Amino acid sequence: MEGIKFDSRQVLMLTGMENDEQVLSAVADAMCEMGLVKDTYKQAILDREKEFPTGLNTGGCNIAIPHADVTHVNEASICVGILEEPVMFHAMDEPDDLIPVKMVIMLALKEAHSHLDMLQKVVELIQDQALVKQIVETKEKDTVCQLLKEKLL
């Protein structure tokens, strides 16, 4: 997917997060500070997560893939939060279930159909649990960025 901005500044190592709202807020705030999204993006993410949870139970290292409507986006981009300790998110397929999430891939895309393309790539990524484990265990933002670029962009 060409034209999607992603560099090592968009890899966040998150510590001390206690719940999904803190995680989503931290990642959305970072995107807003970088000018990638509008100031309405964070609330849109939080509202959407309540209605349509984004936690994916992978049977291994669980991931959340939050996103909001394209109207809240300035520049097509992704931002990744690697959590020092897993945080509970509601599962996408079973919203009443809570699952421990270790990585958040927040999507900020400019075209609605781009979400489906990117979601397919994220699904391919999570099927490679060895790679996901490598990503969440590395402490090097540049390495995380490179591994994700190869798989997603």
User: Which pLDDT tens digit goes with each residue over 54-65?
Assistant: 999 998 999 999
Six token digits for residue 122 = 């994220």
Whether 112 maps to a domain, the answer reads: yes
Q: Specify whether the CB–CB gap between 104 and 27 falls below 8 A.
A: yes
Which pLDDT does position 109 carry in this prediction?
Answer: 92
Residue 44 forms part of a structural domain:
yes
Region 125-130 average pLDDT: 94
pTM across the whole model: 0.96
Q: The domain spanning residue 12 has which CATH number?
A: 3.40.930.10
Check: CB of residue 53 under 8 Å from CB of residue 91: yes
Residue 116 resides in a domain: yes
In a domain, 92, yes or no: yes
Per-residue model confidence as pLDDT tens digits over 38-96: 999 999 999 999 999 999 999 899 999 999 999 999 999 999 999 999 999 999 999 99
Instruction: Answer whether residue 102 is part of any domain.
Output: yes
* 54 lies in some domain: yes
Is the pLDDT at 112 greater than 80, yes or no?
A: no
Domain assignment of residue 116, given as a range: 8-146
Residue 119 has pLDDT above 80, yes or no: yes
What domain count does the chain have?
Answer: 1
Alpha helices (runs of H) in 20-140, residue ranges in sequence order: 20-33, 41-51, 112-127, 129-137
